[in-house]
Amino acid sequence: LKVSLIKYTSEPEKLIAAAARLCYSPMGAEKILEDFKEGEAEDFLGKLVELGHLSPVEHVSFTFAIEGVSRVLSHQLVRHRIGVSYSQKSQRYVKESQFEYIIPPTIADNPKAKEVFEGKMAQIQEAYNELVKYVPAEDARYLLPNATETKLVVTYNARSLYHFFQLRCCRRAQWEIRRLADLMLEEVQKVAPNLFKKAGPTCVSQGICFEGKMSCGRAAQIKSRS
């Protein structure tokens, strides 16, 4: 799994702080940005997130290149609809003449399971290559498995990223999308540390778990430590 932050709004924290400050100031945004002092964003962003005053956070966006993930993952990813844009490698236009696939760790670590899995993948590849001789790739792809590797470019605004991290950095999320979410969080924390300081599952960001009986127990652990 490979994820890179390929573009983001420049000076994201300053822009958010200026947009938020505009709500409470007689000054215009340009003047606020001009007067902005280094280090002012940190306190301000913390307060915004705490108060849930999140519309200013929507002004900045982050674009990621994602590779080496399965179509299992991409299917879950595109369920996130709000404040997000996706582009994904097409199986209509790009023939899967030698398709890569993702092997879940439980299968990779079990020699018997791995043998079954890899054997089936080889058979599917063979059948696909035969089928594309007779039908277009858009129909031959119906043979391809959920494990097929895919590539995407995704753009999230910071508010929708917060929501994504709440759901997908949680231990209850499926392992592959959780791994992706953790890596995405690491990437944005490098460029906007104050903005994403408290991002993550709700047990970390708010000290609350909504999983009820399914809770992993981390929220209780965090509570007992504080």
Instruction: Please tell me whether residue 167 binds ligand FAD under the rule CB under 6 A.
Output: yes
Task: Pick the binder of ligand FAD from 6, 82, 108, 220 (CB under 6 A).
Answer: 82
- Residue whose CB is less far from ligand FAD, 148 or 157: 157
Residue 185 contacts ligand FAD per CB under 6 A: no
Q: Which of 25, 36, 107 is nearest to 70 (CA)?
A: 107
Give the count of beta carbons closer than 10 Å to the beta carbon of residue 22: 16
The yes-or-no answer on residue 168 being catalytic is: yes
Q: Which of 80, 89, 151, 218 binds ligand FAD (CB under 6 A)?
A: 80
Smallest distance from ligand FAD to CB 183, Å: 17
**Token pair 């430590």: residue:** 225
Q: Which two tokens stand for residue 87?
A: 């582009």
| Nearest CA among 68, 65, 63 for reference residue 150 | 68
Between CA 120 and CA 146 the distance in angstroms is 13
Q: CB of residue 160 vs ligand FAD: minimum separation in angstroms?
A: 6
Instruction: Quote the least distance from Cβ 120 to ligand FAD, whole Å.
Output: 25
Output the smallest distance, CB 54 to ligand FAD, in A. 12
Polymer length in residues for the chain: 226
**Residue in 187, 114, 102 with CA at minimum distance from that of residue 145:** 102
- Which residue of the set 168, 172, 218, 225 is catalytic? 168
Q: What is the DSSP letter of 36?
A: P
Interacting residues toward ligand FAD by CB under 6 A: 79-82, 160, 163, 167, 172-173
The catalytic residue positions are 168
